[in-house]
Structure 1
């Protein structure tokens, strides 16, 4: 299947293997995405510093961004590739919303809507998270949520207060 707009959220809030800061792990993951067979990196957002969602006292802030990819893949193959990249950067799956060395989520693949099997598309919580929507606006400002039919600008305007600021 060829997709012209694959959006992948990138995030981290723990040091990577060897103690690399979260921003370095995120940049390395972007390079890993650039090398995925059959896909090409079209654009990358700025990096944002964001608070954990849901709030978690004592948990470090996240570094977040979004990559825009295009190419030949399936949702299942892309999910497996992203999980392999996470594992290579020390990701350990534990409790939901736990701190992590790297988190890669498929946000959307063109206008594909599906509830199963994994991955669910579009990402079921993307529309309520500043750490996804603000970087997404950098790479795909005209995006329309495939399930909700709402433009990105309306989703951003409807966000509850969430601390998110560009790093640059």
Structure 2
């Protein structure tokens, strides 16, 4: 026996007749203020609890010196999440910003220390170049703290418009990106 859909529930996809494809998303998370480990684990949990987002992998934790931050800024803890999602890229970005806000992210000066930073690196093959969202992330190819944890999870990954992550990482190097074997984050 098959289940009959409830005629009183309106699904936007049903109205438009559009299918929502599942896309692989790569998210980079970092924290250099407060209890960084608790913040990152909380962010992983919040993203995993997002409807239409399925976190499939959490990278190892890396500690890195701040890049282009004010003098005296503390080191970052960084991770990468691999997710499958049916959310549109802008909706996923909205969710990431909401998660940042939940962890008291203050916006203002670029590259200022922060409790949480969540960046969309890739969302399937989507391209975006508007003021709110640029995909693929325009500086990911220059950031070992993104490429190294991503490479650990997907050695054959390709950053669209830039090339294989392995090649980008080989060119960039991993100086200053230190594996924190004493910290493990997971999907709870």
Provide TM-score, normalisation by structure 2: 0.82
Residue 55 (structure 2) aligned to one of 9, 32, 41: 41
Structure 2 vs 1, CA of residues 72 and 161 (structure 1 numbering), >3 Å: closer, same or farther? closer
- Quote how far apart the aligned CAs of 1:71 are: 1.9
- Quote how far apart the aligned CAs of 1:98 are: 0.3
**Is 1:145–1:151's contact at 8 Å kept on the other side of the alignment?**
yes
Residue 111 (structure 2) aligned to one of 87, 91, 97: 97
2:77 — aligned with what?
Answer: 63
**Is 2:29–2:117's contact at 8 Å kept on the other side of the alignment?**
yes
What runs of 5+ residues in structure 2 fail to find an aligned partner?
1-19, 182-188
1:29-84 alpha-carbon deviations (Å, 9 max, x no partner): 00111101011111010010001112643110000000000021011101110101
Q: Secondary structure at the match of 1:80?
A: helix
- Which whole-Å CA distance do the structure 1 matches of 2:175 and 2:22 have between them? 31
Count of matched residue positions in the alignment of Structure 1 and Structure 2: 162
2:177 — aligned with what?
Answer: 164
- Which whole-Å CA distance do the structure 2 matches of 1:140 and 1:39 have between them? 19
1:18 — aligned with what?
Answer: none
Large movers: runs of 4+ above 4 Å: none
Residue 32 (structure 2) aligned to one of 3, 13, 35: 13
**Is 1:39–1:69's contact at 8 Å kept on the other side of the alignment?**
yes
State yes or no: 1:76 paired with 2:95: no
Aligned alpha-carbon RMSD (Å): 1.4
Q: Secondary structure at the match of 1:40?
A: strand
State yes or no: 1:32 paired with 2:46: yes
State yes or no: 1:134 paired with 2:148: yes
2:168 — aligned with what?
Answer: 155
Provide TM-score, normalisation by structure 1: 0.91
- Quote how far apart the aligned CAs of 1:162 are: 4.0
Give the greater-gyration-radius structure (CA).
Answer: 2
**Is 2:62–2:178's contact at 8 Å kept on the other side of the alignment?**
yes
1:51 — aligned with what?
Answer: 65
